[in-house]
Amino acid sequence: MSEEKIGRIVKVSGPLVVAENMTGAKMYDVVRVSDKHLVGEIIELVGDTASIQVYEETGGLGPGEPVYLVNMPLSVELGPGLLTSIYDGIQRPLDIIVDKTGDFITRGVTADPLPKDKKWDFVPKVEEGQKVTSGDIIGTVQETVIIEHRIPVPPGISGMVEKIESGEHTIEDIICVIKDDEGKEHKLKMYHRWPARTGRPYKKKYLPEMPLLTGQRPIDTFFPVGKGGTACVPGPFGSGKTVIQHQLAKWADADVIIYVGCGERGNEMTDVLNEFPELKDPKTGEPLMLRTVLIANTSNMPVAAREASVYTGITIAEYFRDMGYSVALMADSTSRWAEAMREISGRLEEMPGEEGYPAYLGRRIAEFYERAGWVENMGTETTTGALTVIGAVSPPGGDLADPVVQATLRVVRVFWSLEAELAYQRHYPAISWINSYSLYGKVFDDFYRKNYPEFPANRDKAMAILQTEAELSEIVKLVGAEALDPSDRLTLEAARSIREDYLQQDAFHEVDTYCSAKKQDMMLKAILEFEEEARKALERGAPFDKIESHPIREEIARVKYVEEKEALKRIDSIIERLPKAMTELVPEEVGTST
């Protein structure tokens, strides 16, 4: 990248540097600051004076030092080599940088985001003489054993393929030449750059119609997120946020995972960096990293890099979406991102909004989540891709009135409320069934009606039972459950079964860690059939304690730990035996049933 010296530093304030004499610079251009060549980005421009957020430590910098213009916006390199990478907020590969400089990253270091010397076996998908347009896939490389990397004609280019090369190439080799209508030749490599703050183009965006199945019962059943949808999960410490994220990364119905970590404490991110590479992809048995990109910011990295990391992450995610994949991006935690915005805004002396956050906090958060979607991709052929965005928020003291939580809730459609109290009771995943919501709920009923016809009604019934339990809980606290009439006690028992046998799911149990939609459907059916048959028996005089302690309940409770095929068999048998088992408890019918 060519650098041109233009400006001069006049002021340094933490991550913010003010430089004058910046004629020719544009908003959001990347600059190199001082002779240490620290990476920065212009975030305010008044006349020829620029405010620059610097992505590296600015200690020791002072007025008079030079600023170099790079003449391009903050960009992400997109091409083979992304998967398995661990980047910092401005797409510098952490492992290479740490190898170069040790754990305390020296300033001004550069490293290529994508390996420039590695050879990939490029398989063309277009022929010479063929007309192509941006988004068309010109060829593929097997990036990892799990994911085929589809190389697109970059946005803004179309024309006729003059030349296409197959075989072993590095990403710097020209593998395709396209001549546009004006006769201009575009020499394509296997990678291109895209400005991080600009969403990548698509033809059309649809409302999600398919749930992103996660194999996690509380999520899929009650609070599903759509493929291409948005969700928010607040994470008080110890509530199981990390476990949920790992579960989603492993089991969600997504091809590619982008994980953006903005750590609170240095060691939190270290956990992610140690744990993620250890995770296995359950579908293939291969390391999960083969379909993952990690973007990591520890707290000892400068605040501005955190601000950039979510944009770097979502740009990479959109790029895989453009290949037709289902991509899930997890950002943890977006509160750290917002705090970075607040710090920079404070130094720019902007008018503060709520809690000192900039007035544009809500807009930035909305713009970020708007990059999620189920879209029709660019290109001649009709293909779709999905980008689901799941953002964790960590409000101080778990306070949901926090401006970041509020701004997020205004734009996302799903809210998984992780609650410390549930975690304390060891109810995992600690997702509150009372405070969480999914605005998609009924949208996926078509999908369910087609595949699991009874599921939507059963789901609604189960939720109604849980709500009744919540309403009764005050009375129970005052007078105890024994004081309630048997019909209400049965409702409480059904609620307990839904909570303990269904909603609780052990991420560390080899079978229970994942539960298919089919198994969810059948498990819920068993619990509700019990409730129904028990209620009939109760109304005909069966004693409550016999119903409550019936051994069939233990059978229902155990199926979650039983491998799917066998579990489905057992549930069929339970459902078949239930009417008789309950009828037998009715006094006048004892001995009359066969």
Where on the chain is the footprint of ligand ADP (CB under 6 A)? 235, 237-243, 428-429, 505-508
Least separation, in Å, of the C-beta of 35 and ligand ADP?
42
Task: Using the minimum distance from each CB to ligand ADP, give the nearer residue, 150 or 246.
Answer: 246
Burial 409-444 (b: 16+ CB within 10 A, else e): bebbbbbbbbbeebbeeebbbbbbbeebbbebbebb
Task: Using the minimum distance from each CB to ligand ADP, give the nearer residue, 221 or 505.
Answer: 505
Least separation, in Å, of the C-beta of 414 and ligand ADP?
18
Least separation, in Å, of the C-beta of 481 and ligand ADP?
27
Residue nearest to ligand ADP (CB): 240
Tell me the DSSP string of 175-225: -EEEE-TTS-EEEE-S-EEEETTSPPP-SEEE---SB---S-HIIIIIS--
User: Two tokens at 33?
Assistant: 């600051």
User: Two tokens at 17?
Assistant: 């540097």
Long-range contacts of 378-382 (CB under 8 A, 24+ apart): 378/133, 378/134, 378/135, 378/152, 378/155, 378/201, 378/202, 378/203, 378/322, 379/133, 379/134, 379/135, 379/136, 379/137, 379/152, 379/153, 380/132, 380/133, 380/135, 380/136, 381/136
Task: Using the minimum distance from each CB to ligand ADP, give the nearer residue, 206 or 237.
Answer: 237
Task: Using the minimum distance from each CB to ligand ADP, give the nearer residue, 292 or 333.
Answer: 333
Task: Using the minimum distance from each CB to ligand ADP, give the nearer residue, 442 or 509.
Answer: 509
Least separation, in Å, of the C-beta of 106 and ligand ADP?
31
Asked if 139 and 124 count as a contact pair (C-beta separation under 8 A), the reply is yes
User: Two tokens at 131?
Assistant: 């007309």
Least separation, in Å, of the C-beta of 418 and ligand ADP?
7
Least separation, in Å, of the C-beta of 372 and ligand ADP?
23
Least separation, in Å, of the C-beta of 223 and ligand ADP?
15
Task: Using the minimum distance from each CB to ligand ADP, give the nearer residue, 419 or 529.
Answer: 419
CA-based nearest residue to 524, from 430, 455, 449, 574: 455
Q: Is the peptide bond before 333 cis (omega within 30 degrees of 0)?
A: yes
Cα(506)–Cα(503) distance, integer angstroms:
10
Cα(41)–Cα(195) distance, integer angstroms:
12
Least separation, in Å, of the C-beta of 216 and ligand ADP?
8
Residues 6+ apart with CB under 8 A from 473: none
Task: Using the minimum distance from each CB to ligand ADP, give the nearer residue, 419 or 531.
Answer: 419
Least separation, in Å, of the C-beta of 512 and ligand ADP?
8
Least separation, in Å, of the C-beta of 383 and ligand ADP?
35
Task: Using the minimum distance from each CB to ligand ADP, give the nearer residue, 104 or 508.
Answer: 508
Task: Using the minimum distance from each CB to ligand ADP, give the nearer residue, 238 or 356.
Answer: 238
Cα(309)–Cα(195) distance, integer angstroms:
13
Cα(588)–Cα(206) distance, integer angstroms:
59
Estimate the crossing angle of helix 334-347 against helix 403-411, to 10 degrees. 120
Task: Using the minimum distance from each CB to ligand ADP, give the nearer residue, 235 or 313.
Answer: 235
Burial 490-502 (b: 16+ CB within 10 A, else e): bbbbbbebbbebb
Task: Using the minimum distance from each CB to ligand ADP, give the nearer residue, 242 or 380.
Answer: 242
Least separation, in Å, of the C-beta of 429 and ligand ADP?
4
Q: Name the 3-class secondary structure at 527.
A: helix
Cα(434)–Cα(173) distance, integer angstroms:
56
CA neighbours closer than 13 Å in the CB half-sphere of residue 313: 38
